[in-house]
Structure 1
Amino acid sequence: METVGAVLASLIAVAMGFFAGRRWVSNAYLGALFGVPLGIVSATLYFTLALLIARAWPRLLDAHLVGLCVLAVLVVGTACAAAGAVFGYRKSLGVRLF
């Protein structure tokens, strides 16, 4: 359960990075740097939702595994958001050509 949530949080980080890179980033390096706060936002959202679920259903989640998944989302989600922002920037370049 915790791992599925971490994977979904990383996918959301990719989507946020892609859309941010497509609209707000002026070059690829800035897109990679823009992925860092988006990865942190994704990890914060994951931890907040895990905390709310743990408060609503006390024995559903394992606290140790949630902590490990938050750390993984911080690292992997940041890298995924940076890659998504770079790909979004590249996509916006192709759109501007035509």
Structure 2
Amino acid sequence: MSSCNPFSVNFSGSSQDLFNKVSSLIHQHNGTITGSPTGGTFSVPIPVFGVVAGTFDVSGQTCKIHVTQRSFFLPCSSIESFVKSNIPTVLAAEIEDF
């Protein structure tokens, strides 16, 4: 397993809303998240690739993510791209939409 360089994602809305909705998504995909809207850890099983795990830290409207565990076959750029394209939009959806 390998880690990635930390990266940041800007979001709108409250950190509590972001935490609630991301937590729901992670749990729906059999993952775990611990912590609070200001920071914590996550782990999500990815079919074929194993687990993606890491930490997050929220300050203002920015979430800093550090992936600490991933398959060598899953590029950091793919993880970062997926997160950056999905975190800002997760707040636009209602939790019932997931």
* Bigger share in helix: 1
Q: TM-score, normalised by structure 2?
A: 0.32
Q: TM-score, normalised by structure 1?
A: 0.32
* Bigger share in strand: 2
Max Rg structure:
1
